[in-house]
Chain A
Amino acid sequence: MGGAAALPRAQDGEATSPGCVRERPLPLGEQAQRWRRCRLTQVRWSRYGPEYRDPRVEKEHYRKPAAELTEEERYDRELRKTQLIKAAPATTTGSVFEDPVISKFTNMMMKGGNKVLARSLMTQTLEAVKRKQFEKYQAASAEEQATIERNPYVIFHQALKNCEPVIGLVPILRGGHFYQVPVPLAERRRRFLAMKWMITECREKKQRRTLMPEKLSHELLEAFRNQGPVIRRKQEMHKMAEANRALAHYRWW
């Protein structure tokens, strides 16, 4: 499993190089020729070498006047003037309302590259969550109103956090059979599983004429309260891991 060292992570939690870089990629033309000769599908690689730095997109960082910078920041700025920097992805904005978790979820909901549709579904979901909570707030008494959360972003983050499994199962080949071995999951794998389960649940298990925002808002609110099908799936995963406890020593990392 050990590959080359993973490239450094960007500040906002966005992975710069998906997967490990096994070898330095070749210049563009030669690489294309090799693919044509091998007829393989392209694996996730980063076209950047290790000397490329990640870009910094925050406005506040660049607006600081020169006098306020600390020693290291000044050094860092000087260094960046001569170093190579990767291009920022097209989806990062300098917007104050940008949220990396929401962006990742929108990308996972996207089908066929239709980002416009995925984004509008996401915004409609957030609006639906907000309106449902406002309705509940209006109907509730004064003490209950203090407990009702109306911020759709807080609900979204908490719901996904509640859906993250702690431990997962990995198929390991031993003696000609695949065994499901319980394994601690990395942070990004847990986030991915939570989002994937949520989206699959909303796509497959809905009535014929319900729209995605309606179903998704309902599932998010249930997950926020630690109920619902996605939470049950996480708990089943935990139970299976607990059941296969004896196979834990098959793991060697």
Chain B
Amino acid sequence: MLVLGSRSTRTMLKEITRLVSMVQKAKHGEQHEGQHYRVPLQDVKTVFPHGLPPRFVKQVKTFGEACLMVRKPALELLHYLKNTNFAHPAVRYLLYGEKGTGKTLSLCHVIHFCAKQDWLIVHIPDAHLWVKNCPDLLQSTYNRQRFDQPLEASTWLKNFKTTNERFLSQIKVQEKYLWNKRESIEKGSPLGEVVEQGIARVKNATDAVGIVLKELRRQSSLGLFHLLVAVDGVNALWGRTTLRKEEKSPVAPEELALIHNLRKMMKNDWHGGAIVSTLSQTGSLFKPRNAYLPQELLGKEGFDALDPFVPILVSNYNPKEFESCIQYYLENSWLQHEKAHTEAGKKELLFLSSANPGQLERLCAYL
């Protein structure tokens, strides 16, 4: 709802200190470091139905706009992605860093860039959600040793459909798949049908996910489209689960069909795209709170599976970024406390948050 009178002065102030989204993502360079850019709300609905951190979603709802800060790790990743050689096998990039430094939002920045460049995005918002708190585990019909997770698979398929609507009719399935005695999917039918089947028949959702991933992997190598595989919390794939079978014995991650298929996706035996992932201790299971390095969180198995990869460290704000963040909050009148506008207040915020973006956001929420 547009309120012209008050908004025009606000937008004028914004343009002075901030990049407006008129500048395309492709043109983000070193000089834009520390500045915010606005993601149109329509893009947020299509590209990020499930990817953004929950606190950021609240912030978007409160401010009525989605603004991401352009930071060095994201710029580095964008530089690599712009210069990818699609004939070579997919390069794996790993964003790692301490808690609250902005790994997930950097990933979202990269995803938005690739979406604007018309890549196909396979985005798993949090792999940890697939290895815990799943009350309904079905034994898979395809492979009796593995387990299906109907709920998680069907929600993921719905969000996948929202993001990649236009590709689903263009990509054709190259093999015949049998769902059960009566239903099957023929060679040459669009991928959209597989997704529909997965959403409609929740029992087949996990198998639908497996088919989608396999087809995308196969066909991106043919060069029809560029594929971006974005996984948040990739250390969940090689960790432990808290799920148990009926006999109360623990389920290993390989016994979950979703995780098994995702692991195949993370192997660099396909080309025509890139794999960007994030480590996350926050949702991880059986890992100490101060662990943030790839070796600690992935374990030996995970590290060997992901090796070789390009590690990108995401660190706390530098003084310029900190100042820019505070300016953004002040412009949106988010910092309401009188003392927060003063120098002493800013110094105190810097001290309390130690320039950690997550902590700063939580502090400014109640000030």
Query: Which residues of A are at the interface with B, using a C-beta cutoff of 8 A?
Result: 95-97, 123-124, 126-127, 130-131, 134-135, 138-139, 141-142, 145, 150-153
Contacts and interface: CB of A to CB of B under 8 A. Distances in A.
A82 B103 CA distance: 55
Nearest to A142: B5
Nearest to A133: B336
A130 B366 contact: yes
Interface of B: 1, 3, 5-6, 58, 62-64, 333, 336-337, 339-340, 342, 344-345, 348, 365-367
A96 B365 contact: no
A135 B1 CA distance: 12
Tell me what chain B mostly uses at the interface: helix, strand, loop, or mixed: helix
A246 B345 CA distance: 54
A127 B366 contact: yes
A97 B339 contact: yes
Given A123-B365, A131-B62, A153-B337, 7 more contacts: A96-B348, A97-B340, A124-B366, A134-B62, A134-B63, A138-B64, A150-B336
A96 B62 CA distance: 26
A130 B344 contact: no
A96 B366 contact: no
Contact of B336 (A123, A135, A151): A151
B360 to A, nearest CB: 14
Given A97-B345, A97-B367, A152-B336, A131 B58 contact: yes
B64 A123 contact: no
Interface centre among B63, B365, B366 (most CB of A within 10 A): B366
21 contacts: A96-B342, A96-B345, A96-B348, A97-B339, A97-B340, A97-B367, A123-B366, A124-B366, A127-B365, A127-B366, A130-B336, A134-B62, A135-B62, A138-B64, A139-B1, A141-B3, A150-B333, A151-B336, A152-B336, A153-B336, A153-B337
B277 to A, nearest CB: 31
A239 B191 CA distance: 73
Contacts of B348: 95-97
Contacts of A152: 336, 366
Contacts of B58: 131
Contacts of A138: 1, 64
Nearest to A146: B6
B2 to A, nearest CB: 11
Contacts of A135: 62
Contacts of A126: 366
Interface centre among B5, B62, B63, B342 (most CB of A within 10 A): B62
